[in-house]
Amino acid sequence: MSRKYFGTDGVRGRVGTEPMTAASVLKLGWAAGKVLANQGNKEVLIGKDTRISGYLFESALEAGLSSAGIDSRMLGPMPTPAVAYLTRTFRAAAGIVISASHNPYFDNGLKFFSSDGSKLPDDTELEIEAMMDEPLTTVDSAELGRASRVNDAAGRYIEFCKSTYPSGSRLNGLKLVVDSANGAAYDIARRVFEELGAEVIAVGNEPNGLNINLDCGATAPDNLRAHVLLERADIGVALDGDGDRLIMVDHRGEIVDGDQILYILAKARHDAGELPGGVVGTLMSNLGLEHALQAMNIEFDRAAVGDRYVLEKLNDKAWTLGGESSGHIICLDRTTTGDAIVAALQVLAYMRQSGETLSALKSGMTRYPQVLLNVPLSKRVDINANPAVRDAVGKAEGKLGDSGRVLLRPSGTEPVVRVMVEGKVANDVEKICNEVATAVGAALG
């Protein structure tokens, strides 16, 4: 069944265009409510980030759920991983987050979690999609859902985050800059680190509905870097607008991306004998991560791009650690989904346990230069079926040997092939990427 509403991470779009209109969100709330009501549980948690359209969609979503006979428990501004955690602890039928994650304020979306705090199963999404084609009906007035507010939601999640940091240990003497992207964690992130004893300089913590992810947070780490250097801080922590991505900055002002964070956490767990199996990255994970893990005899597997696919592969392999270069870090030994605050605490715990700086911890992995080029095509084609393209890729791989790789990724939304080449020598990588892109363009353009 083709999907009309759900993508790889829920429903998302520009506010005012389908499916992110009040009418469609109301209908989605109703459709989800009808599916969930059939499963016997009639309570759903609703959280949101700080974008202005959250007010609009919160009301529409609650109305749709109510018309299906589902009770809504409103959490207010709350990070996506917090909604996943609270859905599990409340034993709710589902959790819904009104957020477009790292996108600008004029986008919004809906992310769904099942009762166990994990991504909604595919079959449930398909049931909701099918229900969207049915006429909206309203249950009898006596059966309408009610709405209530969870006043202690933030405190519950803060205590959970703190519980993932080693018992008896604190962050005293550590100076942190925390950039919350003017998003859902604008107050919570600061409080977690402060309550554990750190001195916190909070930035990106003044949301106005329009400035979420604007030149700050995990998608714009130069803001964090500048503040770390200005404040002479020990470390910087940047989240995205809904709090599930993490990018860090060391005391030298060097950015530490998701691949490097994944390496640090893998080494920490490996050294402690707490890493079952291996690590899952994506097709875009840096080759330097793979080689660094190989040096420790840690197995590495690549999933398709998207934290949903990382999570699926982790579950399939019964592994616990995975993530993306963008900063989605999944620690299944701590929680059920990507969580920036929890991941940051794991890095800080290893810093304290090892006595090393973040700069020293990341030095065990060398990031290989990576060049990405988009090659426009006149139409969508099967790139794997073209002999000239296969020949160009084969020649490039021959030049790179075991010290590099070539990846061609057709866009799923436009006639474009993304050509990525990485290797040890920046000039070679750039030259080879241009050669492959030229060959692809000549063969398929």
Q: How confident is the model at residue 445, as a pLDDT?
A: 66
Q: Quick one: CA torsion of 426, 432, 436, 438, rounded to 10 degrees?
A: 90
Expressed in angstroms, the distance from the first to the final Cα of the chain is 31
Percent of the chain with pLDDT over 90: 86
Whose tokens are 């993306």? That residue is: 324
Classify 391 as helix, strand or coil. helix
Q: How wide is the angle at C-alpha 386 spanned by C-alphas 390 and 411, nearest 5°?
A: 90
pLDDT tens across 190-238, in order?
Answer: 999 999 999 999 999 999 999 999 999 999 999 999 999 999 999 999 9
Quickly state the pLDDT bin for 166 (edges 50, 70, 90). Answer: very high
Q: Which domains does the chain have, with CATH numbers?
A: 11-151 (3.40.120.10), 157-362 (3.40.120.10), 370-444 (3.30.310.50)
Distance CA 340, CA 327 (A): 8
The percent of residues above 70 in pLDDT, for the chain, comes to: 98
Whether 101 sits among the annotated catalytic residues: the reply is yes
Q: Is 307 helix (H, G, I), strand (E, B) or coil?
A: helix
Q: pLDDT-based confidence at 413, cuts 50/70/90?
A: low
pLDDT band at 4 (very low <50, low <70, confident <90, very high): confident
Q: Which residues fall within 8 angstroms of residue 21, CB to CB, at 6 or more apart?
A: none
pLDDT score at 386: 84
What's the chain's Rg over C-alpha atoms?
23
Per DSSP, 143 falls in state G
Strands (E), 283-326: 300-303, 321-323
Q: Write down the pLDDT at residue 380.
A: 66
Residue 408 confidence class, pLDDT cut points 50, 70, 90: very high
pLDDT of residue 384: 76
Is the separation of the CB atoms in 194 and 175 below 8 Å? Answer: no
* CB neighbours of residue 356 within 10 Å: 14
Please report, to the nearest 10 degrees, the dihedral formed by the alpha carbons of residues 7, 13, 17, 20 taken in order: 80
On average, the pLDDT of the chain sits at 94
Whether 10 and 111 have beta carbons less than 8 Å apart is answered as: yes
Read off the amino acid at residue 28.
L
pLDDT in tens, 239-252: 999 999 999 999 99
- pLDDT tens for 123-154 read 999 999 999 999 999 999 999 999 999 999 99
The answer to which of 87-96, 271-280, 312-321, 404-413 has the lowest mean pLDDT is 404-413
**pLDDT tens per residue across span 302-333:** 999 889 999 999 999 999 999 999 999 999 99
In this structure, of 112-121, 204-213, 351-360, the range with the lowest mean pLDDT score is 112-121
The strand ranges marked E within 158-213 are: 175-179, 199-203
| Rounded-to-integer distance, Cα 242 and Cα 429, Å | 34
Integer Cα distance of 347 and 282 in angstroms: 21
Catalytic residue among 24, 101, 114, 180: 101
The average pLDDT across 400-420 equals 85
pLDDT at residue 1 is higher than 60 = no
How far is C-alpha 87 from the chain's CA centre? Answer: 18
Cis peptide before 135 (omega within 30 of 0): no
Please state the pTM of the whole predicted model.
Answer: 0.94
Q: What is the pLDDT of residue 263?
A: 98
User: What is residue 121's predicted lDDT score, i.e. its pLDDT?
Assistant: 86
Q: Which of 28-32, 131-135, 389-393 has the lowest mean pLDDT?
A: 389-393
